[in-house]
Amino acid sequence: MTQSSFNGSALPRNPAGPLSRRSLLRGAAIGAGAVTLPSLLTACGSGPGGDGKTVTLGSNASDAVPKKAYAQAFSAYEKQSKKTVEVNTVNHEAFQENINRYLQGSPDDVFMWFAGYRMQFFAKKGLLTDISDLWKGFDGFSDALKKQSTGEDGKQYFVPYYYYPWAVFYRKSVFEKGGYEIPRTFDEYRALAKKMDQDGLDAIAFGDKDGWPAMGTFDYLDMRANGYDFHISLMSGEESWTSPRVKNVFDLWRGLMPYHQQGANGRTWQEAAQSLQAKKSGMAVFGLPHPGQQFGATDREDLDFFPFPEIDPAHGQDAVEAPIDGFLMSKKAKNPEAAEDLLKYLATPEAELRYLRSDPNNIAVNESADTSSYNALQKKAVELVSGAKQISQFMDRDTRPDFASTVMIRAIQEFINNPNDVDGLVRDIERQRKDIFAAE
């Protein structure tokens, strides 16, 4: 509503010229689509095309560190191949929000995206180029990675680049001082949290103002209690949210709530990480890059993590939540050969390491990537992921974006405000699930 935007193409070019009914209707139709900024994005996509030497690349890496790291990877490719990579960087959130219109307009040849459901959705809509042939030549990708790069039709679309596992982070010095042990089971975890609470700490740092950070905790609770397969079919809308298994997840979480930092809905994840850094809280569920950014260089040595504890022995600590970022090739690529060549390079361990040298908060996906330059946390993260039986992405990557953003963000915040009405909460979610997944 307040997003009034101006789409130049909706206006007649020549004001005095005749304006047919059809062009008026077309103008109205475009005007209807003009609620966002499609022209802005499509403008970014119109690079020089078809000369075989230039490949355009849509980037959502708008933050300084990843932007620089990507630039170095691309320039290494340019030197090696004598081709040009033209990078169009768009603000991270804006890129995500406009992705539908971006892909329907004139997208770049190659663009950055995420593995999992969100990628499969575009593949199903026919907006991506099938790169199964390229994949046959790829080396060093595990089966779990291949599965995450595959569309529902069994073809590969995605070139994975790096990932970052989620785990429970803590400061070694805090654990030493309090004499705390790494918990392996959920009961130990709860007992530890209680002990920290008695010692005057906020046991679990917690911030969910942005709506997504708490999803990581839900995902882990669900995967540990019900297993990966149940979690994925729950995310795909195939399970009922009112089932006792889902209620159990919320009940487990409710049992931990007293040990979470209060007022999470008013706290950003950065503030939560800062309280971990300031030794005001003992632990926090985060992705690998998150707490590190809030720690000074000297404190970073002190940061460590352990895998989310086991709930049901049948599922152990099998699943790891490790969102994968990587590259896709759009269906409308103007320069498919050059794009494939770039993708081939990006799938090599050298390309991944080139990136990680400037952004050591992630780990390379390629198994043959040399890990000797990794810091201790990265090495531990490699271990965690390679020991995983299944890899999940993240709630907002494993389910429909409309379900994650319009239903689950609100539901989890509601739960944080009032953890006691689990029945009412799951009924609300279930009604909306039926509605949203029925829209297919």
The nearest distance, CB 435 to another protein, in angstroms, is 5
Residues that bind another protein (CB under 8 A): 1-3, 10-12, 15-16, 19, 24, 27-29, 31-32, 34-36, 96-97, 99-101, 103-104, 125, 127, 209-211, 262-267, 271, 275, 401-402, 405-406, 409-410, 413-414, 417, 428, 431-432, 435-436, 439
**Closer CB to another protein, residue 32 or residue 64?**
32
**Closer CB to another protein, residue 147 or residue 431?**
431
Neighbours of 63 (CB within 10 A): 14
The nearest distance, CB 222 to another protein, in angstroms, is 21
**Closer CB to another protein, residue 156 or residue 261?**
261
Integer Cα distance of 84 and 109 in angstroms: 12
The nearest distance, CB 399 to another protein, in angstroms, is 11
The nearest distance, CB 333 to another protein, in angstroms, is 18
**Closer CB to another protein, residue 108 or residue 359?**
108
The nearest distance, CB 36 to another protein, in angstroms, is 5
The nearest distance, CB 29 to another protein, in angstroms, is 7
**Closer CB to another protein, residue 112 or residue 225?**
112
The nearest distance, CB 223 to another protein, in angstroms, is 24
- The alpha carbon dihedral of 398, 404, 407, 411 has a sign of positive
29 in Cβ contact with 60 (< 8 Å): no
Integer Cα distance of 273 and 173 in angstroms: 16
Integer Cα distance of 106 and 38 in angstroms: 10
Give the strand pairing for 166-171 and 110-114: unpaired
**Closer CB to another protein, residue 202 or residue 310?**
202
Integer Cα distance of 181 and 201 in angstroms: 16
Our CA angle for 391, 377, 398, nearest 5°, is 20
**Closer CB to another protein, residue 367 or residue 430?**
430
Report in angstroms the alpha-carbon separations of 117 from 37, 241, 301, 406: 25, 19, 35, 17
Share in percent of the chain as helix, strand, coil (round to 5): 50, 15, 35
SS3 assignment, position 389: coil
SS3 assignment, position 171: strand
SS3 assignment, position 29: helix
Integer Cα distance of 368 and 22 in angstroms: 58
The nearest distance, CB 360 to another protein, in angstroms, is 28
Integer Cα distance of 145 and 365 in angstroms: 8
**Closer CB to another protein, residue 93 or residue 383?**
93
Residues paired with residue 327 on neighbouring β-strands, in sequence order: 112, 159
